[in-house]
Structure 1
């Protein structure tokens, strides 16, 4: 995974998710980890952050609300909330958090602040 900044869509995996949303080929069951997953790999973590932001209404240019209705159900939002919490927790649960921690405390906190979104 290539990161170029700390924003939720600033990496290769998020760009792929946005392309899937635009083309109507978003398959949530393949993208979200199962309940009780013990460790989240970096690529899956980046996807979770991007999906959470889409579900929370953070829509980048070219994405319409109609394209993310599948992410708006209470069940999907709850699953994303749980997954996002795990991704943002620490390096023992999230490879992505571990990678940002290696960049330094300032970058880790900046990434966490930009990655978090309230899913109501």
Structure 2
């Protein structure tokens, strides 16, 4: 995964997700893992972070807000909240957390701060 900064859309996987949304080729349910105890790979973690931000209203230019309705149902928001919590937890659960931890504590904390968003 190519990453150029710590923001929720600053990586290749999130950029690809946004492009798919712009083109109308997206099925959000297929991208979200089931909630539970399992390891979340980096690409899936990056998409979870991006979808959480989209669901919370952090929408980049060029995205039609109406196509994001499936992300904003109470059930999906709760599922996203739990998945986001897992992605941001630690390297035992999240490959992204593991990768950012390897960059040092300062970058890990910056990534977590920019990736976290309220979904209640």
Q: CA deviation at 1:64?
A: 2.7
- 1:102 alignment partner in structure 2: 102
Give the superposition deviation at 1:37.
Answer: 4.3
Report deviation, 1:20. Answer: 1.4
TM-score by length of 1: 0.96
Tell me how far apart the structure 1 counterparts of residues 91 and 114 of structure 2 sit (CA, whole Å): 17
The list of structure 1 runs, each at least 4 consecutive aligned residues, that deviate by more than 4 angstroms after superposition, is none
Q: Tell me the TM-score normalized by structure 2.
A: 0.96
Structure 2: how far apart are the matches of 1:21 and 1:119? Answer: 20
Tell me what 1:118 maps to: 118
Q: What is the total number of aligned residue pairs between the two structures?
A: 120
Alignment of 1:14-93 (within 5 A): 14-93=14-93
Unaligned runs of 5+ residues in structure 1 are none
1:5: which partner in 2?
5
Moved more, 13-22 or 60-69: 60-69
Deviation at 1:35, TM superposition (A): 2.5
Cα deviation, 1:15-40, whole Å, max 9, x if unaligned, reads: 01101111222212321111224100
Q: Distance in 1 between matches of 2:28 and 2:61?
A: 21
